[in-house]
Amino acid sequence: MQWTELIVFSALFLLVTVMGFLAAKWQKGDTLDHLDEWGLGGRKFGSWITWFLVGGDLYTAYTFVAVPALMFGAGATGFFALPYTVILYPIVFLPLVRMWSVSRVHGYVTPADFVKGRYGSHWLALLIAITGIVATMPYIALQLVGLEAVLRSMGLNGGGILGHLPLFIAFVILALYTYQSGLRAPALIAFVKDILIYIVILVAIVYLPSKFGGWGEIFNDAQAKFDATPAKTDGILLNGNNQLQYATLALGSALALFIYPHSLTGILASRGRNVIKRNMVALPAYSLVLGLLALLGYVAISAGTKPIVNQATGRPDTNTIVPELFGQNFPSWFAGIAFAAIGIGALVPAAIMSIAAANLWTRNVYKEYLKKNATPAEEAKQAKLASLVVKFGAVAFIVFVDPQFSIDLQLIGGVMILQTLPAVAIALYTRWFHVYGLIAGWIAGMGYGMWLLYNIGNPAIGKAHFAGSALPLGKLSIFGWHPFGDSAVQIYVGIISLLVNLLVAVVVTLIAKKARAFNGTDQTDPSDYHVDEDSPRVKPVAAH
């Protein structure tokens, strides 16, 4: 047991727990018994709070442990996380502003609310809601993977169910303060999380290279390690086989990130269009930190860091690379601060994700199909209960499913959420697609994407199916025809499945228009997409 680290970690964890409970009184509205207040923080967060909230949402514990671990294991491929955040902000700048405006005019809380209003189809909205909930679950589980990696590094590495006990305690605390305070809790805690992370990374990036002979030496050590491994895709530079995978994974991840329900929750909680614009300009500052953080994977190679064996599975856990690097090369008190930064970095996004999934369940399943005349207070109660179920579902994921598998599941989640892009993002600009086309496209893209993922195996870890999201072009078949022969060049499955989705949606839309099939009723008006916070058309917060 690393007692000093554990005490520092526990003290900072206690601080954010107290903040989580006090958050219910922070910037409080008339009541928390309304989704606008509990699930969207009163829709009044300004530039600073939104910056920390959205940053806390997108840069998660998974980012802090898995990206350096990927650099440690596979080299340059792990850097895909950097260009995708650079591509991301210019792509989403305009659609997010439109989504904010139309949501404030009509009181939409979830992306599925918008889809229902835009197309008048509760079936299409249901598909979007279920996709959002299912894709978010493994993402929450991944936050737990990051938190468990830190706990293991501090000596809490038991086997069986008891090995997960510290995780249960952390998540019961998270569940309680999220239940009480809603979105205000992660918004307030995000300040502490980000300050800790900036301090830890800036110290690490200056101190560690000087300890191991400078960056030149670190890169040489990394290349020597990759030269000694037989894999074709390892190395500190990309090669002919993984360049396409790198580019498509970066683009696919960029397109997927802001149609995740939790990303939109952070945006809809902001006060106005200018707040979102300022954030899209300032958020790339996180990408700089992410790039420095990723390089710690190479530093760990120079330092000779070894992953801890997970007593629950009996295999080395590569997610412990960064915690181990800090534990071995910094004083105990500073390692404790670093562990707390990663641990709190798991709680903030896990809270936002569970709230987003709960909002989807409440608005688009419970109110739509189970209790149409639910009052705002009943909706808020249902969302609070759903957020608990989602969190404990994620804990069950970690206990009963191999954590390594949850990382693959998150990649599957990315492929799934991309199938909602035509109905959510494209619909913000045009209603050209027919509702039948969108549903048919979703079915085709989802089905083909899942089939391709099912056929990806990895003999090295003994998995025949669902072992990643990189598909060799030689395995791409169209009704038995292999257009790329036996090419070993890899591509991200999400991009292929999205192209299939769009192709089917276009074809079915043309057929439906020719047949003059009814295309639902659009409740939105073109001017709704440009309304700002001072407009009289903005729906009052927590209006019944």
Within a domain: residue 3? no
Q: Does residue 261 carry a pLDDT above 70?
A: yes
Within a domain: residue 517? no
Within a domain: residue 496? no
Amino acid occupying residue 180: Q
Q: Rounded CA gap, 422 and 435, in Å?
A: 10
Q: What is the pLDDT of residues 117-167, one digit of tens each?
A: 999 999 999 999 999 999 998 888 888 888 888 888 888 777 666 677 777
The answer to whether 65 and 322 have CB atoms below 8 angstroms apart is yes
Q: What is the pLDDT of residues 287-311, one digit of tens each?
A: 888 888 889 999 999 999 998 887 7
The answer to whether 363 and 125 have CB atoms below 8 angstroms apart is no
**Sequence-distant (≥ 6) Cβ neighbours of residue 415 within 8 angstroms:** 449, 450, 453, 469, 493, 494, 497
Structure tokens at 42: 């009163």
The answer to whether 253 and 66 have CB atoms below 8 angstroms apart is no
Q: What angle do CA 209, 215, 219 make, to 5 degrees?
A: 120
Q: What is the pLDDT of residues 356-374, one digit of tens each?
A: 999 999 999 999 999 999 9
What is residue 111's predicted lDDT score, i.e. its pLDDT?
Answer: 96
Q: What is the pLDDT of residues 56-98, one digit of tens each?
A: 777 787 778 888 988 898 888 888 888 888 888 888 888 999 9
Q: What is the pLDDT of residues 4-56, one digit of tens each?
A: 988 999 999 899 999 988 888 877 766 778 899 999 998 989 999 998 888 87
Within a domain: residue 369? yes
Rounded mean pLDDT, 372-378: 91
Total count of domains within the chain: 1
Within a domain: residue 251? yes
Q: Rounded CA gap, 74 and 234, in Å?
A: 5
Within a domain: residue 68? yes
Within a domain: residue 351? yes
Q: Is 309 helix (H, G, I), strand (E, B) or coil?
A: strand
Within a domain: residue 137? yes
Rounded mean pLDDT, 326-353: 91
Q: Does residue 171 carry a pLDDT above 80?
A: yes
Q: Is 471 helix (H, G, I), strand (E, B) or coil?
A: strand
What is residue 435's predicted lDDT score, i.e. its pLDDT?
Answer: 96
Q: Does residue 544 carry a pLDDT above 70?
A: no
Q: What is the CATH number of the domain that holds 346?
A: 1.20.1730.10
Long-range contacts of 286-291 (CB under 8 A, 24+ apart): 286/55, 286/58, 286/59, 286/85, 287/82, 287/85, 287/86, 289/59, 289/197, 289/198, 289/201, 290/59, 290/63, 290/67, 290/81, 290/82, 290/85, 291/79, 291/82
The answer to whether 319 and 149 have CB atoms below 8 angstroms apart is yes
Q: What angle do CA 505, 509, 515 make, to 5 degrees?
A: 150
Provide the 10 A C-beta neighbour count for residue 511.
14
Domain limits for position 190? 9-410
